[in-house]
């Protein structure tokens, strides 16, 4: 049974069929093909960029309040189709339906609304001495997005770009492309002019590189792996366009010896296992006092036992399949590597969960006594694998937290002042203290090889603007 939604390119306000091969969209729980999208070409990108270029002058000249109102209507349109979005994402990439409703479908609604609300108070112009400083749209934005949060990652780029006055050419992930079609339909219904938002399906090496290299694209905003981000930056450098990168992570959850241990472990495990661990901002490293590691293990194992693995359409499921068979193989390979390297396996392990012989399933896994410099503590696994790493004092905890090439998110649990002091020392773009709630107005982005640039809030809007000084 196929998933019904727009599964063509969307260029200049029209559905455009592909001229070449088709790409299967596979349900990772059943291995069933649920839809197909066209495998786009450089010529398709040329056509989309031409449409975005033609639409840019009129859209850039539109009053920011009117642009924001259309984005607000897009938010409302996404909310009306929330159940369709949730079920579509569950089928195309395996997120449990409860998570798809709570996050995959709901977060894009909140993010779009937050950007719409920013326009009225944003400093579009500023007087500095005899200079009028003007914030203007950058032009045509190429957006390249991943499969793990397929609509959220798209809206996090498209909403601020539209409010800024930019036009967009989007390449969604070919593994989870279907909600991009829903967004195109919703945007058109909201009154977005033709050509302002365009979608070209296809692979990274073809469509992604064509967008990054295109002379008509003024900025590329990319979310994905650090390896792919390096390639996007290298290709884009030939035309010296702006590049914003939100890349991989290997984030640390530092639990201090005065923390509420039960809360810290349960919450930390939830962040580590969310979306099956397929989250760039997950906390796969739990850094704990050596003297309390045994307590942490007991709590973590008990909490992990509550994570039901199975059919993602079942309301009781907390971990569905990995997004593809290739991703399942990757995660299972890291679990095998952890065992081979001598980390202490305390939960899960290699192989498929009992009773799940079909589908891209892995066993949620916890390792303890993990060496900070080991492969499973340094490389991004992108699966439900938690590594518990003991430390001897606060300085040692900070050293371990900062010891990877990544710096995207993190957590600290402990007394307020002490936790804040540790958070300030962590070389990462976002730190939550004692499980603080997500703030869609706060900037999000990475240090080191987790990328550059920021998403969300005022900082996220500024990413899509140029700055001009007019002296008078």
pLDDT band at 5 (very low <50, low <70, confident <90, very high): low
Supply the pLDDT for residue 6. Answer: 81
Would you list the DSSP string of 296-350? HHHHHHHHHTT--BS-TTSTT-SB---SSHHHHHHHHHHHHHHHHTT-EEEE--S
pLDDT at 75 over 50: yes
**In terms of Cα–Cα distance, which of 307, 259, 246, 319 is closest to 286?**
259
What is the Cα–Cα distance from 413 to 316, expressed in whole angstroms?
A: 29
Supply the pLDDT for residue 231. Answer: 97
What pLDDT, in 10s, does the model give residues 187-196?
999 999 999 9
pLDDT at 2 over 60: no
Q: Which positions are annotated as active-site residues?
A: 246
pLDDT at 419 over 50: yes
Beta carbons of 48 and 38 less than 8 angstroms apart: no
pLDDT at 4 over 70: no
Give every strand in the sheet of 125-128, ordered side by side.
125-128, 131-137, 465-471
Supply the pLDDT for residue 19. Answer: 79
CA separation, residue 181 to residues 96, 246, 306 (Å): 21, 23, 35
pLDDT at 3 over 70: no
- What's the mean per-residue pLDDT of the chain? 97
For the stretch 71-108, what's the b/e string if a residue is b when 16 or more beta carbons lie within 10 angstroms of its beta carbon?
Answer: bbbbbbbbbebbebbbbbbbbbbbbbbbbbbebbbbbb
What pLDDT, in 10s, does the model give residues 442-457?
999 999 999 999 999 9
**Structural domains of the chain, ranges and CATH numbers in brackets:** 9-247+449-471 (3.40.605.10), 252-440 (3.40.309.10)
pTM of the predicted protein model: 0.96
CA separation, residue 386 to residues 88, 130, 197, 272, 334 (Å): 28, 56, 39, 7, 11
Supply the pLDDT for residue 1. Answer: 36
Mean pLDDT of 200-221: 98
pLDDT at 279 over 70: yes
What is the Cα–Cα distance from 319 to 276, expressed in whole angstroms?
A: 5
Supply the pLDDT for residue 18. Answer: 84
What pLDDT, in 10s, does the model give residues 386-403?
999 999 999 999 999 999
Supply the pLDDT for residue 20. Answer: 78
Q: Give the rounded percent of residues in the chain with a pLDDT score beyond 70.
A: 99
List the beta bridge partners of residue 163. none
User: Measured at the alpha carbon of residue 90, what is the angle toward residues 409 and 70, in degrees to the nearest 5?
Assistant: 75
What is the Cα–Cα distance from 175 to 244, expressed in whole angstroms?
A: 22
What pLDDT, in 10s, does the model give residues 160-175?
999 999 999 999 999 9
What is the Cα–Cα distance from 182 to 166, expressed in whole angstroms?
A: 20
Mean pLDDT of 78-85: 98
**In terms of Cα–Cα distance, which of 3, 2, 8, 14 is closest to 40?**
8
């Amino acid at each position: 049974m196929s998933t019904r939604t727009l599964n063509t390119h969307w260029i200049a306000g029209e559905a455009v069929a592909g001229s070449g091969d088709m790409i299967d969209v596979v349900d990772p729980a059943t291995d069933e093909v649920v839809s197909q999208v066209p495998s786009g070409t450089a010529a398709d990108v040329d056509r989309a960029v031409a449409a975005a270029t033609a639409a840019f002058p009129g859209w850039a000249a539109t009053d920011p309040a009117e642009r924001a109102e259309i984005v607000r209507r897009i938010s409302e349109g996404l909310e009306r189709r929330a159940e369709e979005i949730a079920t579509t994402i569950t089928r195309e990439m395996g997120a449990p339906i409860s998570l798809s409703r709570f996050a995959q479908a709901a977060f894009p609604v909140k993010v779009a609304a937050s950007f719409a609300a920013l326009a009225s108070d944003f400093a579009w112009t500023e007087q500095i001495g005899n200079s009028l400083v003007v914030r203007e749209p950058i032009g045509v934005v190429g957006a390249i997005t991943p499969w793990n949060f397929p609509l959220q990652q798209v809206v996090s780029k498209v909403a601020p770009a539209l409010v800024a006055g930019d036009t967009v050419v989007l390449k969604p992930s070919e593994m989870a492309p279907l909600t991009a079609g829903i967004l195109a339909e919703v945007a058109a219904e909201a009154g977005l002019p033709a050509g302002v938002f365009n979608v070209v399906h296809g692979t990274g090496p073809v469509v992604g590189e064509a967008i990054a290299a295109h002379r008509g694209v003024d900025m590329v905003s990319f979310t994905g792996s650090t390896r792919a981000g390096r390639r996007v930056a290298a290709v884009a450098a030939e035309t010296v366009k702006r590049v914003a990168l939100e890349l991989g992570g290997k984030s640390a959850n530092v639990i201090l010896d005065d923390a509420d241990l039960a809360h810290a472990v349960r919450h930390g495990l939830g962040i580590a296992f969310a979306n099956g661990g397929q989250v760039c901002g997950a906390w796969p490293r739990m850094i704990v006092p050596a003297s309390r590691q045994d307590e942490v293990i007991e709590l973590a194992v008990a909490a992990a036992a509550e994570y039901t693995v199975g059919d993602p359409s079942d309301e009781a499921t907390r971990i569905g399949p990995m997004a593809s068979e290739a991703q399942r193989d990757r995660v299972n390979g890291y679990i095998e590597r952890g065992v081979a390297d001598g980390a202490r396996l305390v939960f899960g392990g290699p192989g498929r969960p009992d009773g799940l012989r079909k589908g891209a399933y892995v066993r949620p896994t916890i390792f303890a006594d993990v060496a900070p410099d080991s492969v499973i503590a340094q490389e991004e696994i992108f699966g439900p694998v938690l590594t518990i790493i003991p430390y001897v004092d606060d300085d040692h905890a900070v050293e371990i937290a900062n010891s990877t090439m990544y710096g995207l998110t993190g957590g600290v649990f402990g007394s307020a002042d002490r936790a804040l002091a540790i958070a300030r020392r962590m070389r990462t773009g976002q730190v939550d203290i004692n499980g603080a709630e997500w703030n869609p107005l706060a900037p999000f982005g990475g240090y080191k090889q987790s990328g550059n640039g920021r998403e969300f809030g005022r900082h996220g809007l500024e990413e899509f603007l140029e700055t001009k000084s007019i002296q008078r």
